[in-house]
Amino acid sequence: MGYEFTIMTADIDEKSIRKEKPEDLVMALAEAKADAIVQKLLTGSNLEKDAPTTLLITADTVVVYQGIIREKPTSEKEAREFIKGYSGSHAGVVGSVMVTNLITGKRSSGWDSAEVYFHEIPDEVIDNLIDDGVTFNVAGGLMLEHPLTLPFVDAVVGSTDTVMGLSKDLTEKLLLEAL
């Protein structure tokens, strides 16, 4: 997107934050991440008073399959169930973005969604994805851009950026709002 970023982790217990609707969950998680990072910055005195405006971007993504929210799989069995379910079917993705102006405290946030349709995914490919380990690091257990996944994506309805974890259009809009 043409910006320079410093990456920080929020170190929050995401499982302790529960919401029924996926849109509410990703928004609550982005806010909790922002709160945790702001607290880190305040205690570490990393913000210089004379520095140009610094914006904090936090986000979260979940997959929705047959009305059920899916986050990162916690076991090989769960990862296999997730991916097998998508085979020849489709899933929704809901992603949030929150931009916090660290100088003024102003926050702008929103969410976006997309649908991913899949061809049949062979068991061998599912085994290879699980062996690769990437499946445990992403919401819903599948990374769209992964070379093992991509050939089995039939269509994406909505932004591929949303599916990959950060809607560029929504982020740009929120960055401007937060200034």
179 CB-near residues (< 8 Å, 6+ apart): 53, 55, 101
Write down the catalytic residue from 11, 60, 127, 154: 60
Cα–Cα dist 16/32, whole Å: 11
Active site residue 13: no
Cα–Cα dist 115/89, whole Å: 11
Beta strands in the chain (DSSP E): 55-65, 68-70, 90-101, 107-118, 153-157
Which residues participate in catalysis according to the annotation? 60
